[in-house]
Amino acid sequence: MLRKLYDWVFEQARKPYAEKTMAAVSFAEASFFPIPPDVMLAPMILSRPDRAYRYAAICSIASLLGGLLGYAIGVFLEPLAVKLLHIFGHGMDMAVYQSWFAHNGFLVILGKGLTPIPFKLVTIAAGLAHFNLGLFVLAVAITRSGRFFLEAWILKTWGPAMLAVVEKRLALFFVIGLVVLVGGFLALKLLRH
């Protein structure tokens, strides 16, 4: 089953509309969608290393725009935003969010934007806290472009060699990725309490 999924993702990465799909996933992940754009970005870079930085730029811009939607959800749809954060185990009262973001918001956005933790949690929380919009845009631009351009550089530089290893041990890398993702959620939950 993993092999079929793996082959399907690479097949999608070679399609003419792949950039638009990746942009849509990147936009949606920053505001409401659970799947990170890396599932499209990595195979696309591995398929076309000559376009690595173009793909990273598309992901960065789309993620920033999606982040603005997440921020708007926090500002204008507070009951929905609170419910979404509660679902993901991040319920706090508004005064706590506002105080927390007032003191740590820029660093929180920078730090969380580089991790596999769903970025929508950060963008919605920033909106709920009414974090300074200019600082929000700056932090999102720095962290998301940093993440995607670093990923592009790594995959462009070492991708073909890494790809051969991943293809031989697909199940192992799937388990490692799953452990990292679940570990990130657990670490975030532990840090919140």
Burial per residue of 102-136, b for 16 or more beta-carbon CB atoms within 10 angstroms, e otherwise? eeebbebbbebbebbbbbbbbbbbbbbbbbeeeeb
> What does pTM read for this prediction?
0.77
pLDDT score recorded for residue 185:
60
Domain ranges of the chain: 2-192
pLDDT score recorded for residue 89:
64
**Using one digit for the tens of pLDDT, what is the confidence trace for 73-89?**
999 998 888 887 777 66
Both structure tokens of 167: 């293809």
Helices (H), 88-169: 94-113, 120-128, 133-168
pLDDT, mean over the chain: 80
Is residue 109 a contact partner of residue 122, using CB atoms and an 8 Å limit?
A: yes
Give the whole-angstrom CA distance, residue 101 versus residue 93: 13
pLDDT score recorded for residue 35:
77
Give the whole-angstrom CA distance, residue 111 versus residue 122: 10
pLDDT for 145 beyond 80: yes
Is residue 13 a contact partner of residue 51, using CB atoms and an 8 Å limit?
A: no
**Using one digit for the tens of pLDDT, what is the confidence trace for 5-24?**
656 666 777 788 889 988 98
Q: Mean pLDDT across the stretch 49-58?
A: 94
pLDDT for 191 beyond 60: no
Confidence of residue 93 (pLDDT cuts 50, 70, 90): low
pLDDT for 160 beyond 80: no
The number of residues in the chain equals 193
